[in-house]
């Protein structure tokens, strides 16, 4: 279910960004959420982990990646804050004396769009207020049931380099002059807010699918290891039991021979 959800979510999220890119490219529309800073000095790092363990290296890889990023950039940046989604990341950095600006734990079994929208609105408020120049998200990208990849993605400002006519324009001379109703500025404003919420929701869905895959793989490995351990212990037990029986038989025979 989680795998189908993220597979169906990706095309929609990517196409939505392309639509926004088309509008921005044809009308040269600007928006605060797309404004690239001259210099990145203040960064908010959103770390997306799970609330539960027993899922192999799922949380460990994210936490180590975020910790490495912190050590490499803490002295270069004026401000580097953390926003934790998931209990495992919060606990990991709490043991290292790092407190977040905000954290969300006790997540539902299935991440909801309402939760993603809540997080997205909070991040947009922080960015638009000028508190941060860049907001990055660290999460596990779902590859397959047995494979996940740690990804560090820039959420804000939104990068809109890809458009649907980047290739056709060069080969076929496709005209990008279009008429929009309502105004391009209004379309961009509404779509960017929706697109950002969708991107946050997509990342959460990626993380949920990766968590299920990692836990399934970890439990399968644990089961196989347990079976192997039981087999070895059973063999050892049988050897010791046979050795004890042999010793007892030897003592009985020796006792009988001595009586003769």
- Show which residues are catalytic: 55
DSSP β-ladder status, 102-104 and 79-85:
parallel
Q: Helix or strand or coil: residue 84?
A: strand
Q: What is the DSSP string of 163-210?
A: -TTTTHHHHH--------SS-HHHHHHHHHHHHHHHHHHHHHHHHHHH
Alpha carbons 81 and 98: distance in angstroms, whole number: 9
Alpha carbons 255 and 260: distance in angstroms, whole number: 9
Alpha carbons 139 and 7: distance in angstroms, whole number: 16
Q: Which two tokens stand for residue 154?
A: 């820039």
Q: Which two tokens stand for residue 38?
A: 């001259």
DSSP β-ladder status, 134-144 and 147-156:
antiparallel
Cα 245 to Cα 78, 108, 254, 255, 258: the distances in Å are 75, 57, 14, 15, 20
- By the 10 Å C-beta count (0-12 exposed, 13-18 middle, 19+ buried), 39 is classed as exposed
């Amino acid at each position: 279910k989680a795998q189908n959800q993220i597979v169906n979510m990706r095309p929609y999220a990517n196409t939505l960004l392309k639509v926004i890119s088309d509008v921005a490219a044809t009308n040269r529309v600007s928006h605060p959420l797309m404004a690239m800073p001259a210099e990145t000095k203040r960064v908010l790092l959103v770390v997306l982990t799970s609330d539960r363990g027993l899922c192999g290296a799922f949380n460990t890889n994210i936490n180590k990646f975020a910790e490495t990023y912190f050590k490499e950039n803490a002295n270069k940046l004026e401000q580097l804050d953390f926003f934790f989604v998931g209990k495992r990341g919060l606990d990991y950095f709490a043991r290292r004396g790092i407190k977040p600006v905000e954290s969300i734990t006790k997540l539902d079994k299935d991440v909801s769009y309402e939760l993603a929208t809540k997080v997205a609105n909070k991040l947009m408020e922080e960015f638009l207020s000028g508190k941060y120049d860049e907001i990055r998200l660290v999460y596990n990208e779902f590859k397959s049931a047995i494979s996940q990849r740690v990804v560090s993605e820039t959420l804000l400002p939104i990068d809109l380099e890809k458009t649907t006519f980047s290739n056709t324009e060069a080969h076929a001379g496709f005209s990008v002059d279009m008429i929009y109703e309502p105004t391009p500025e209004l379309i961009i404003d509404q779509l960017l807010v929706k697109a950002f919420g969708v991107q946050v929701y997509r990342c959460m869905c990626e993380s949920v699918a990766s968590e299920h895959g990692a836990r399934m793989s970890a439990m399968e490995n644990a089961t196989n290891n347990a079976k192997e351990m039981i087999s070895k212990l059973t063999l050892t037990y049988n050897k010791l039991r046979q050795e004890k029986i042999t010793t007892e038989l030897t003592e009985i025979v020796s006792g009988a021979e001595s009586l003769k």
